[in-house]
Chain A
Amino acid sequence: MADRNFGNQLKHFMHAPTLLAGSFVIGAGAIGAVTGRGFGVAYTGAGNYLVTATGPRIDNYNSLWAVKLTLQHVAGAAGIADRVIKLGTVTLAAAAGSTFQILTHNIAGPALNEAATDIVHFEFLLGNSSLD
Chain B
Amino acid sequence: MVARNQGNQTKSFLHAPVVLAGSFTIVAGPVMGVQTGRGFTATRVGVGDYLITATDGTHTDNYQSLQDANVIVQHTAGAGGIADIIAKVGVVNLAAAGGATFQILTHDLTPAIAVAEVPADDAVHFVFLLGNSEQD
Contacts and interface: CB of A to CB of B under 8 A. Distances in A.
Interface of A: 6-14, 16, 18-19, 45, 47-48, 53, 57, 59-69, 84-90, 101, 103, 105, 107-112, 125, 128-130
Given A8-B16, A65-B36, A86-B74, A110 B83 contact: yes
Interface residues of B, number: 45
Interface of B: 1-4, 6, 9-23, 36-39, 70, 72-79, 82-84, 86, 109-110, 123, 125-127, 129, 132
Contacts of B9: 9-10
Contact of A66 (B1, B10, B19): B19
A13 to B, nearest CB: 4
10 contacts: A6-B12, A10-B11, A11-B17, A57-B3, A57-B4, A60-B2, A87-B123, A88-B77, A109-B110, A110-B109
A2 to B, nearest CB: 10
Interface centre among A16, A53, A63, A84 (most CB of B within 10 A): A84
A88 B11 contact: no
- Chain B binding surface, main DSSP class: loop
Contacts of B39: 13
Nearest to A108: B110
Contacts of B23: 64, 66-67
The 8 closest A-B pairs by CB, nearest first: A66-B21, A6-B11, A13-B38, A87-B74, A59-B2, A13-B39, A67-B125, A66-B127
Nearest to B127: A66
Given A13-B38, A66-B22, A128 B1 contact: yes
B72 A86 contact: yes
B78 A88 contact: yes
Nearest to B122: A86
Given A11-B16, A12-B18, A65-B37, A89 B77 contact: yes
A16 B72 contact: no
A109 B1 contact: no
B11 A7 contact: yes
B1 A129 contact: yes
Nearest to B83: A110
B84 A109 contact: yes
